[in-house]
Structure 1
């Protein structure tokens, strides 16, 4: 890359990063958006709950966004993976997988998260297609279908309330002895929600579409959709490289202005919130871009 110095480097070129890039491009900031092309929703066939784009593929929405941002000539796209970030007294150094070093006054971390798949054959192949994470993003499309939730404990109990509004054919699969308390189990029973404590062996599917769950005891349950709450990891080492503080749930900690605990580093999108949606990422990215532009303006004026 010929130019190695920028006002802002945005790490992550999905919805939050692209939205931040547009805000900064419209303010004539010299911006580099670095992305490696592996968004977490790459298997998802359709994106929902984002007005004007409801039902489009995730890739289609991203392509339209890039087309819009390409009009702003101070924004550059770069395909690479960031392997290291260093804070200096006058800004930041970003190193890519090709060992190229790039520099910026400010960093926006729109790097998303990586879902950690359970060791259940078929789970990864169905993730984002019929094994889904969010009733707001995908629930309407599987309304009134035979549906499961793979989770346990208090989180499973609260999540069941949201899904129960979408289907009455609902089973909670705890994949082992449940951590629900007796009061919660009774509440589930009264609402007709089954609790299955069987240990899951395999998710049987066709091209990512669930047909049934099979269990280690030999039983099986037919299903059309399975909600799952699974762990995640940050895609970049913001805590180790930069010293950004994380929340107790593993998100990058930000304040009301999307600023991290490290001056000059702003974060937005899935890496800072459990509300994972295209609409939320776009909104956070737009705001983050405006915040960074204001900081640059204050420092230069």
Structure 2
């Protein structure tokens, strides 16, 4: 059955190419597109490339999709968007984003490098973040399997095995205590300058978490990405099944700075309770915003943003 797409134009505004442009085609972006598609909104989703969790063997803790490969989850999401004729997913990178009065103008670059321009009434940033891994040999090669970032995502898979936590002194204690929920054999490996406080040492010792403060020079693992051991500067090797780290992160796109979004002290995009950034009409959802980072939570952020976007558009179309 064909669907009639309603094109509204609030008084005093130009008709735009679409109602909403969603930048990013991960869990947040695609779930937002689903909700907006069901609202008969004209939506363009710009897919700029590989998602952050590409190297992960599976998405965990996602109701009905626990254990699904990341690529398969996105394939299913795209498949479920097909009935919504008002939603288009385009392989394109957004190179420029500007607010023009009440509207937004975006410059796109397609797969062939061909430029184009699109206008929208609202924009949703679902661009995610990039992890900055410690410069240790083997860290990148084992990322996602032997080197892990989230015990809620991966703790079950490595439960009851010898584990390690690696990072700066201030970050290690909390993460090590958390990881000890999944294993009785946890070693806290302290990186770089800074020392553990006496209170931190006491808390770790109370949970029987060992502390290693020698520099780590490399990680050794299998070709499939499984960790085998941590190698210290002395040459000593510590056999471990996995190591958890708190990786530093940065925003995946410069569009946020380009348009002047407010950024939190931790580098996340500030958003209100309605997922709106400090720029009117510009929303953000998923890992690029403050809070916990999981696929199911990003999807929920996307749905929340989509609802607020649709209600804002409706108010503009139906003035008092």
Under a length normalisation based on structure 1, what TM-score does the superposition of the two structures give? 0.96
Q: Is the 8 A contact 1:178 1:197 kept in 2?
A: no
Q: Is the 8 A contact 2:168 2:193 kept in 1?
A: no
Which of 37, 42, 56 lines up with 1:30 in the alignment? 42
Corresponding residue SS for 1:100:
strand
**Cα distance change on mapping 1:197 and 1:177 into 2, 3 Å:** farther
Which residue does the alignment assign to 2:66?
Answer: 54
Which residue does the alignment assign to 1:75?
Answer: 87
Which of 221, 232, 243 lines up with 1:226 in the alignment? 243
Under a length normalisation based on structure 2, what TM-score does the superposition of the two structures give? 0.90
Which residue does the alignment assign to 1:101?
Answer: 117
Matched, 1:246 2:263: yes
Which of 55, 80, 84 lines up with 1:43 in the alignment? 55
Corresponding residue SS for 2:176:
helix
Alignment of 1:251-290 (within 5 A): 251-290=268-307
Which of 199, 202, 210 lines up with 2:215 in the alignment? 199
Q: Is the 8 A contact 2:169 2:191 kept in 1?
A: no
The CA deviation string for residues 158-204 of structure 1, in whole angstroms up to 9 with x for no partner, is 22221111101001111235531012112212221011111111111
Which of 135, 138, 147 lines up with 1:131 in the alignment? 147
Which of 199, 223, 228 lines up with 1:183 in the alignment? 199
In structure 1, stretches of 5+ residues that fail to align are none
Deviation at 1:47, TM superposition (A): 1.2
The CA deviation string for residues 217-271 of structure 1, in whole angstroms up to 9 with x for no partner, is 2111111011011111101124421111010000000011111111001100000
In structure 2, stretches of 5+ residues that fail to align are 1-15
**Cα distance change on mapping 1:155 and 1:119 into 2, 3 Å:** closer
**Cα distance change on mapping 1:176 and 1:90 into 2, 3 Å:** closer
Deviation at 1:154, TM superposition (A): 3.4
Corresponding residue SS for 2:99:
strand
Q: How many residues align?
A: 298
Cα RMSD for the two superposed structures: 1.3
Which residue does the alignment assign to 1:158?
Answer: 174
After the TM superposition, which parts of structure 1 deviate over 4 Å for at least 4 consecutive aligned residues?
none
Worse-matched range after superposition: 250-259 or 170-179: 170-179
Worse-matched range after superposition: 214-223 or 224-233: 214-223
Corresponding residue SS for 2:141:
helix
Which protein shows a greater Rg?
2
**C-alpha separation between the residues in 2 aligned to 1:200 and 1:44?**
24
Corresponding residue SS for 1:80:
strand
Corresponding residue SS for 2:89:
strand
Which residue does the alignment assign to 1:21?
Answer: 33
Q: Is the 8 A contact 1:177 1:197 kept in 2?
A: no
Corresponding residue SS for 2:140:
helix
**C-alpha separation between the residues in 2 aligned to 1:41 and 1:23?**
23
**C-alpha separation between the residues in 2 aligned to 1:179 and 1:246?**
29
Worse-matched range after superposition: 151-160 or 180-189: 151-160
